[in-house]
Amino acid sequence: MSYVQGFLAAVPADRKEAYKAFSEAVWPPMREMGCLSYQENWGVDVAPGTLTSFPQAVKLEEGEVVVFSWLIWPDRATCDAAWAKMTSDPGMAGMGDMPFDGARMMWGGFEPLTSASA
User: The pTM is what?
Assistant: 0.83
Parse the chain into domains and list their residue ranges: 3-110
Closest to 94 measured CA to CA, from 28, 26, 27, 38 = 26
What fold is seen in the domain 3-110? Answer: Alpha-Beta Plaits (3.30.70)
Closest to 19 measured CA to CA, from 43, 37, 36 = 43
Q: What is the pLDDT along the chain (118 residues), one digit of tens a residue?
A: 799 999 999 999 999 999 999 889 889 999 999 999 999 999 999 999 999 999 999 999 999 999 999 999 999 999 999 988 877 766 655 555 766 766 778 889 999 999 888 8
